[in-house]
Structure 1
């Protein structure tokens, strides 16, 4: 290698590694796909190595590409931090933060909190991805995310956000026209609302398997929002955490002693976690989780929560 690569070429490398295709990287960078290809060719020539395996399906990192990736990410993080500091944002956060959250959690819990945050930081903007799946942090789909499965590899800051329980709920109308539920064994005669089983965003969402029998799923969807509405309309029983249940009487607890326990994790790439704008959103979610046990547990369980 006779010359050091330009930082802009490394940006092109990062976006292609994250997108996997020239067209995807070009959209992220707002340039023509031929520009992306030319920059990657130049970078590989300067480094004297092949960074990507090309195929009809797209671009996949080689062993040398994987070796370069953490260094390029560290340079990106340092660049972002420098720009943030030079912009005078040590005290106030500014810029755009993309937050990935589960659909109902984002809509019912996180969105209302953002009003005060944005008032406090007038130069901050939030892009909230309320998804029926979990945001992909590896390809920088989001700057930080709430998920059931924490990243197992890569450079991330990860913390357990909260332990919570899925409880059984049903609509009064459904319960009136179906057999009474006095024990877990009675549940076998009932209909259920659940996730589409071959499209689960995480194996942690297969909590109905803990019923001890194969449930009769009458309605399934990719997201919990649709499940809440279906259960409220009387299509079957559902399991959900307390924060997902509307406070309007359309769904009531069923067999309170039965539940499935899970954990939410909060994660961000290490280089992005250092940014002021990401950190203020991180701290907001941590404060939310620590000070609102009723989101995660029903009233009788809060005092026994670990």
Structure 2
């Protein structure tokens, strides 16, 4: 490409499929993307993208440019990681990708303490349940509870987090059996399969949400029964495990991971050790061994 900035626009349009979505990805206006696409088409003397129902797709020539742009992007990300790897001071930014509830309900105080101990390190928290792409520098460090993370990442495997069943401490007393219900995450099957082996298998699902914090708050306020992580439910004085609940069941191991290029960066190593220590200090809680409040 004659203009190396073209690749950002080409990749954004290829990945999003529409001018408007590409503009959102790039943080520019809709008209800027349209104007830039016209310039790119003119520069190469043939269309790079063609209109289809609902958006754009690359032409045969455009596909070749997309592949070249992906290579350029990979080189750019690699160069940025190598730059970070050569930084030896305990200062500079670290982007940490962490599940929202883990940050809010378990590790927030630890993260604040880390920032106080190391004021030269700028901790950038990325709260998401999606596994950040470390190859594309979406994050420097991730904490995830997964069965099998990407094999090329490096770090530490810890122990599994566990789930149990919870309701407000007075929910069963104040709610007639016919009115008891579950609040759950959305399930492709409609009714989650785990309800069949729960303490109340005949209770219906009355509400679903993809927001775990909202589900937790709904249970605290007495609106239904939930299945939640033990580190979320057990310390909460408003919640108790449901009677006849089976022992908490492990789901997936927690991992603290980074990209191989960053494994020797002092500030990255420091944060990873700090996070592993914080999780280990709460292992009994995370594994559901402390019981309900």
TM superposition score normalised by structure 2: 0.68
- 1:223-246 CA deviation, whole Å, 9 max, x = no partner? 221222222222222221221126
Distance 1:289 1:209, change over 3 A: farther
* Corresponding position of 2:182: 192
Give 1:297 shift. 1.5
* Corresponding position of 1:245: 233
Give the 3-state SS of the residue equivalent to 1:197 in structure 2: coil
Q: Is the 8 A contact 1:195 1:221 kept in 2?
A: yes
How far apart, in 1, do the equivalents of 2:155 and 2:66 lie?
Answer: 22
* 1:134 partnered with 2:125: no
How far apart, in 2, do the equivalents of 1:148 and 1:247 lie?
Answer: 20
* 1:208 partnered with 2:202: no
Give the 3-state SS of the residue equivalent to 2:160 in structure 1: strand
Distance 1:49 1:207, change over 3 A: farther
* Corresponding position of 1:95: 93
| 1:167 maps to which of 164, 169, 175 | 164
Give the 3-state SS of the residue equivalent to 2:170 in structure 1: helix
Distance 1:30 1:256, change over 3 A: closer
Distance 1:198 1:150, change over 3 A: same
How far apart, in 1, do the equivalents of 2:219 and 2:81 lie?
Answer: 47
TM superposition score normalised by structure 1: 0.66
Structure 1's unaligned 5+ residue stretches are: 180-186, 302-306
* 1:298 partnered with 2:288: yes
How far apart, in 2, do the equivalents of 1:280 and 1:100 lie?
Answer: 17
Give 1:68 shift. 4.2
How far apart, in 2, do the equivalents of 1:56 and 1:141 lie?
Answer: 32
Give 1:75 shift. 0.8
How far apart, in 2, do the equivalents of 1:156 and 1:215 lie?
Answer: 42
* 1:176 partnered with 2:173: yes
Count of aligned pairs between the two proteins: 281
- 1:120-150 CA deviation, whole Å, 9 max, x = no partner? 443443443434x535649969425445567
Structure 2's unaligned 5+ residue stretches are: none
Distance 1:5 1:294, change over 3 A: farther
| 2:213 maps to which of 206, 216, 225 | 225
| 1:236 maps to which of 207, 224, 227 | 224
Q: Is the 8 A contact 1:99 1:126 kept in 2?
A: no
* Corresponding position of 2:110: 113
How far apart, in 2, do the equivalents of 1:14 and 1:38 lie?
Answer: 15
How far apart, in 2, do the equivalents of 1:42 and 1:154 lie?
Answer: 43
* Corresponding position of 1:304: none
Q: Is the 8 A contact 1:15 1:29 kept in 2?
A: yes
Give 1:109 shift. 1.8
Distance 1:193 1:13, change over 3 A: same
Q: Is the 8 A contact 1:108 1:244 kept in 2?
A: yes
- 1:270-306 CA deviation, whole Å, 9 max, x = no partner? 48856946665544443433443123212269xxxxx
Distance 1:154 1:241, change over 3 A: closer
